[in-house]
Amino acid sequence: MAAKLLSRYPWASHPFIVGAPMRVMSGASLAVAVSQAGGLGFIGPGVKTQHMEADLNEASTLINEARGSSAFSAIPLAHPVLPVGVGFQLWGDDIEIAIATVEKFKPCAAWLYAPRESLAEFDVWSRRIRKVSPQTQIWIQIGTLGESKRLLQSLEKPDVVVVQGLESGGHGRATDGMGIMSLFPEVADAMANSNVPLLAAGGIADGRGVATALCLGASGAVMGTRFLAANEARISQGYQNEIVRASDGAVNTTRTLLYNHLRGTFGWPAEYSPRTIINKSFLEHQEGSSFEELRKLHDEASKMGDSGWGPEGRLATYAGASVGLIHEVTEAETIVRDVQRDALSRIQSIGVAN
Amino acid sequence: MAAKLLSRYPWASHPFIVGAPMRVMSGASLAVAVSQAGGLGFIGPGVKTQHMEADLNEASTLINEARGSSAFSAIPLAHPVLPVGVGFQLWGDDIEIAIATVEKFKPCAAWLYAPRESLAEFDVWSRRIRKVSPQTQIWIQIGTLGESKRLLQSLEKPDVVVVQGLESGGHGRATDGMGIMSLFPEVADAMANSNVPLLAAGGIADGRGVATALCLGASGAVMGTRFLAANEARISQGYQNEIVRASDGAVNTTRTLLYNHLRGTFGWPAEYSPRTIINKSFLEHQEGSSFEELRKLHDEASKMGDSGWGPEGRLATYAGASVGLIHEVTEAETIVRDVQRDALSRIQSIGVAN
């Protein structure tokens, strides 16, 4: 299954490493760098759906510059496809603009998640994307066994399903989430006859996590937070400093909608929340400070530059529970290659006791 | 490290499978069967500490009967050791009785967890156990990065550390727990220089989980719930039926102290709670039923035989989040061998994309 999946992305290599579509933070530079290193990078949703066009324009330019001298030369000229994916939040993105953007750029994959009300929205988006760009593979992110079972009934079968555990930084299941160790194999069993490759997401930040994903039955592994520590990430310095600094995700991160609300983002379906590194906004929220007070202090912090983040800061610092495994900022290419190499060497070493 | 650990338990084989010390439920038959199959079985704490003596007497008899014709023949006669371990809950077990029992039976390992107030209690227990039975290895169960760091400062270095993720059924960290995918590698990094082998626990129920544990850096894997579906488990039929029936641990299990309290068990340190399959006691507790009413109904259900368990039942049904991976009751030996074989075959198959 992993080989079959890789064959659809001919520039990619085993083990298959995917850069998650992180809102705003995974722009063209990061997505292209991940793909160029032998993974698959996704451009995240923008603040508005129309912002994705600028990212895709930039990605196209970067890819054209790199085509001759990189893994992208493996893309058959007869079936051109943009070797980056795009992510859409179904509840918030404008479907008309999204479809027009996909039609124009033909990204190799569209990652759909967080429908407003029901999984039937995946069918609508999938059908329209396939109509305008048959070469765009449909990826659907789920976080529960129930979703996997309902997906099996869907009219538009996805090409890939991403199974996200509660360790994730990105928005995931708030009330019915579970660690990837328990969630993934149960979903894999439920979908065993579907022939849909599954990827694991949430809490994967190094070669150990990637090897683990493969052991659980995944055809590849998705990393988000690890790529926030890439030079190419579109992230403030203060935020990136926190990704490198923070440890002990069990204690120092939490799932909460507070920071969404402080930033003025409302409307996520009730089942979803992101994980964030805890700072003063959350601590004072727990101590009973009013939302209005917290928002005032948050807005002041947002004008303070990099000191707005950190233990004494107040700004949103979304990160997965494995943030403590990330210790330096480096090129995305280095991340992909190190993680692939470490995963393979770990798998080779554990076959016998040593 | 895994080979070095295995050499201490010469009847055991790679990958190292451990049967968790489940209170009452893992008695002599189960523990001996797990060890005899090439793993290491632990006898769980009894209702009272003195109950362990009967279990160890029974285990000794079973082991003597099996010695010549089993893996136990690998135990050197010059250094006899009982090839099963014992588990103690530090907050509740009587240390004097425990030490006398260890001295009498010389189990190969003592698994210590849940100190009443501080990790210093591990030092006291370790020192006294080592004094009366130097061949008894000290295993300590933790569930947080902080505990791993404090263990590094302890006077009595443990022989093995068990890292338990929040997927576990057994009592674990209630408020600062985390999925094993994130928790284990961070603890492993913190303890990398200690030379103490680490085992992974929580949510491991099949070969995938065991392979995963090894990928994360564990020297072996602990399973609890999977062995509740062993013929040798000391468990009511109605409870065991639930282990086979239940699925979707994210939705159908929860961490709660309610069932402890309904059974009259009070006193667990505040940081600990077990995971249980949800039934009417929990649902009605959430709906606001009084504890007195719930206890009355619970006590009535406890006289109903096997129908006291199940979705319409009311009795405690402790189980890990991977309960949905367990589909049949079988011999413990079959479980150990199947899981070992599946883990190795998975590891061998994922080295290349296929």
Q: Where are the alpha helices (DSSP H) in chain B?
A: 2-7, 28-36, 52-66, 95-105, 120-132, 145-151, 180-190, 207-216, 225-228, 237-245, 249-252, 258-262, 280-286, 291-301, 332-349
A353 vs B14: CB contact, 8 Å cut-off?
yes
* Nearest chain B residue (CA) to A206: B185
Of residues A173, A179, A202, nearest to B165 (C-beta):
A179
Which residue in A4, A176, A215 has the most chain B C-beta atoms within 10 A of its own C-beta, making it the best mutation to test that interface?
A: A215
- Say whether A216 and B212 touch across the interface (CB within 8 A): yes
Distance (Å) from the alpha carbon of A69 to chain B's nearest alpha carbon: 25
pLDDT averaged over every residue in chain A: 95
- The radius of gyration of chain A from alpha carbons, rounded to an integer in Å, stands at 19
Phi, psi of B89 (to 5 degrees): -90, 110
Query: Who among B215, B321, B346 is closest to A182 (CB)?
Result: B321
Pairing of strands B272-273, B172-173: antiparallel
CA distance B95 to chain A (A): 32
pLDDT digits (tens, 9 = 90+) for A23-69: 999 999 999 999 999 999 999 999 999 999 999 999 999 999 988 77
- Binary contact (B353, A3; C-beta < 8 A): yes
pLDDT attached to residue A233? 98
Name the one residue in this structure whose structure tokens are 């988006």: A125
Closest Cβ opposite residue A185 in set B146, B206, B216? B206
Instruction: Sketch the domain layout of chain B as residue ranges.
Output: 2-236+326-349, 237-308
pLDDT at B74: 82
Q: Taking CB atoms and an 8 Å cutoff, what residues of chain A touch B1? A: 354
Buried b (16+ CB within 10 A) or exposed e, A284-322: ebeeeeeeeebbebbeebeeeeeebbbeebbbbbbbbbb
Nearest to B205 by CA among B230, B182, B242, B184: B230
Inter-chain touch A250–B145, beta carbons under 8 Å: yes
Q: Chain A partners of B17 at a C-beta cutoff of 8 Å? A: none
d(CA B20, CA A191): 30
CATH topology of domain B2-236+326-349: TIM Barrel (3.20.20)
Interchain contact, A250 vs B176, CB within 8 Å: yes
> One digit per residue, pLDDT tens: chain B, 354 residues?
888 899 999 999 999 999 999 999 999 999 999 999 999 999 999 999 999 999 999 999 999 998 877 788 888 777 778 999 999 999 999 999 999 999 999 999 999 999 999 999 999 999 999 999 999 999 999 999 999 999 999 999 999 999 999 999 999 998 899 999 999 999 999 999 999 999 999 999 999 999 999 999 999 999 999 999 999 999 999 999 999 999 999 999 999 999 999 999 999 999 999 999 999 999 999 999 999 999 999 999 999 999 999 999 999 999 999 999 999 999 999 999 999 999 999 998 887 655
Beta carbons of A351 and B348 less than 8 Å apart:
yes
The pLDDT value given to residue B352: 63
DSSP A45: P
Distance from CA of B211 to the nearest CA of A (A): 6
Distance from the Cα of B354 to chain A's closest Cα (Å) equals 5
Please give, rounded to a whole number of angstroms, the shortest distance from the CA of B5 to a CA of chain A: 9
Specify whether the CB–CB gap between A222 and A162 falls below 8 A.
Answer: yes
| CATH number belonging to domain A2-236+325-349 | 3.20.20.70
Question: How many angstroms away from the CA of A146 is the closest CA of chain B?
Answer: 8
What's the pLDDT at B66? 86
Contact B251 A145 (CB under 8 A): yes
Tell me what percent of the residues of chain A surpass a pLDDT of 90: 90
Burial of B308-322, coded b for 16+ CB within 10 Å and e otherwise, reads bbbeebbbbbbbbbb
For residue B348, give the chain A residue with the closest CA: A351
Q: Are strands A275-277 and A272-273 parallel, antiparallel or unpaired?
A: unpaired
Closest CA to A255 of A184, A145, A142, A166: A166
The nearest alpha carbon in chain A to B143 belongs to: A250
Q: What is the rounded distance in angstroms from the CA atom of residue A32 to the CA atom of residue A14?
A: 18
Q: Token pair for residue B183?
A: 């928790």
Q: Which residues of B are less than 8 Å from A325 in CB distance?
A: 182, 185-186, 189
Q: Which of A1-10, A70-79, B61-70, B163-172 has the lowest mean pLDDT?
A: A70-79
Compute the distance between CA of residue B64 and CA of residue A261 in angstroms, rounded to an integer. Answer: 66
Which is nearest to B21 in space by CA: B105, B174, B140?
B140
Q: Identify which of B180, B203, B347 has the shortest CB distance to residue A351.
A: B347
Distance CA B324, CA B252 (A): 10
- Chain A hits for B247, CB-CB cut-off 8 Å, are 145, 186
- Measured between beta carbons, the chain A residues lying within 8 angstroms of B146 are 248, 251
pLDDT of residue A353: 59
Nearest CB partner across the interface for A183, out of B165, B183, B250: B250
Report pLDDT for A286: 97
**Facing A186 at nearest CB: one of B211, B325, B351:** B325
Per the CB < 8 A criterion, the answer to whether B56 and B105 are in contact is: yes
Contact pairs from chain A to chain B, CB under 8 Å: 178
Prediction ipTM score: 0.95
Please report residues of B whose CB lies closer than 8 A to that of A208.
185, 215-217
Contact list in B for residue A344 (CB cut-off 8 A) is 351
Mean pLDDT value across residues A253-270: 95
Give the pLDDT mean for A242-251.
97
B353/A211 touch (CB, cutoff 8 Å), yes or no: no
The residue of chain B nearest to residue A248, with distances taken between CA atoms, is: B145
- C-beta separation of A154 from A122 below 8 A: yes
Contact A215 B176 (CB under 8 A): no
- Residues from chain B that touch A181, judged by Cβ atoms under 8 A, are 165, 167, 179-181, 202-204, 209, 212, 321-322
- In this prediction, residue A349 carries a pLDDT of 87
